[in-house]
Amino acid sequence: MLSLLALVVILALTFDFINGFHDTANAIATSVSTRVLSPSKAILMAAVLNFFGALTSTGVATTIGKGIVAPELINNEVLIAGLVGAITWNLITWYYGLPSSSSHALIGGVIGGVAAGKGLSVLNVRGIVEKIFLPLVVSPIIGFFVSYFFMITLIWIVHRLTPYTINKYFSKLQVLSAAFMAFSHGSNDAQKSMGIITAALVSAGVLSSFQVPKEVILACALAMALGTSVGGWRIIKTIGSRIIRLEPFDGFAAESSSALVIIGASALHLPVSTTHVISSAIMGTGATRRLSAVRWRVARDIVLAWIFTAPMSALIAVLFYKAMTLIFAP
């Protein structure tokens, strides 16, 4: 049991690491594409602020750890299968440069593992729908419209300024918005692995109640920061330049809007996809120019990756669990 528990912890931290380099683009892609920050400086800043963002609270961790299924009803094998499903899908989408949701991958993987190992009846359907999938689905829509109206407001404020002056000031302001985005990413995404590890500790009887230990918080924050420091260049290119051509003005609006939505979700203990939010915010920013400014074919590919992420992660988890039972069956 201890070896399986250790494997859950290792896989959860591995997922956090991969989440870091998979989702680096969320925080810095717009700043790099507008040349406000060099890639090395942007990644370093994102890594540091991801770390500190991860230390802010554990509300999202509790939602993930208890909202899908009660920790007392699962075992380590189920969590291992779920984590393998999420990690595998994250690596597949990273390879093809698709900014899919690490959150969807993790949740889909855990649901698949639980369904394969314990059956659908133990799933907390109401909690999954209301506290997990609803925020994940609604947050990109909110991100689009917040970014759209924020951009409209900014245009009204600066409409008398020359393009040179606008870019001069917003090049500096975008550094702050990128930092805000990186901090918000850490505040939400790093907590998901915290929830999984804590659920495993409760399931194994190491913890008597669901309360995230400080050691788990620090380990997940560090894994996220280290992953971010690696940088996911394939996805940075997709988010930073393929959806729409960005200027510092646009980047500031998209990053600020996204960070506000994500920080708000973290305060409400709701898991959201930072990838979905920043991608939809970029689309909202582009839509203020004209609808044709957004490369909707690229946007379609991203949305398709979103749709398939949870089911594919769940399927991989189910197959892996079945393989485990066949290999290790007495």
Q: Average pLDDT for residues 139-147, to the nearest whole number?
A: 92
Question: Best-predicted range by mean pLDDT among 16-25, 141-150, 321-330?
Answer: 141-150
Residue type, 145: F
Alpha helix ranges (H) inside the chain: 2-22, 24-33, 39-54, 59-67, 76-95, 102-118, 125-127, 134-158, 163-203, 214-230, 233-237, 248-267, 274-287, 296-328
Confidence of residue 241 (pLDDT cuts 50, 70, 90): very low
Of the given ranges (129-138, 210-219, 256-265, 308-317), which has the lowest mean pLDDT? 129-138
Please say if the pLDDT value at position 292 is more than 60.
no
CA distance linking residue 61 with residue 145, whole number of Å: 27
Mean pLDDT for 62-81 is 88
**How sure is the predictor about 128, in pLDDT bands with cuts at 50, 70 and 90?**
confident
pLDDT exceeds cutoff 70 at 299: no
Tell me: the pLDDT tens digits for 164-222?
888 888 888 888 888 898 899 888 888 889 999 999 999 888 998 899 999 999 999 99
CA distances from 38 to 29, 204, 226, 266 (A): 11, 45, 18, 29
Tokens of 101: 């949701």
Cβ-based neighbours of 199, under 8 Å, separated by 6 or more: 64, 65, 66, 71, 74, 79, 210
| pLDDT exceeds cutoff 60 at 316 | yes
Half-sphere exposure of 31 (CA within 13 A, CB side): 29
Q: Say which residue, 313 or 19, is predicted with more confidence.
A: 313
Q: Kindly state the percentage of the chain with pLDDT values over 90.
A: 31
Most confident of 33-37, 49-53, 230-234, 315-319: 315-319
280 with 206: CB under 8 angstroms? no
Q: Are 15 and 87 in contact (CB under 8 A)?
A: yes
Q: What is the pTM of this model?
A: 0.85
Per-chain mean pLDDT for the chain = 83
Beta-carbon-side half-sphere exposure of residue 13 (alpha carbons within 13 Å): 15
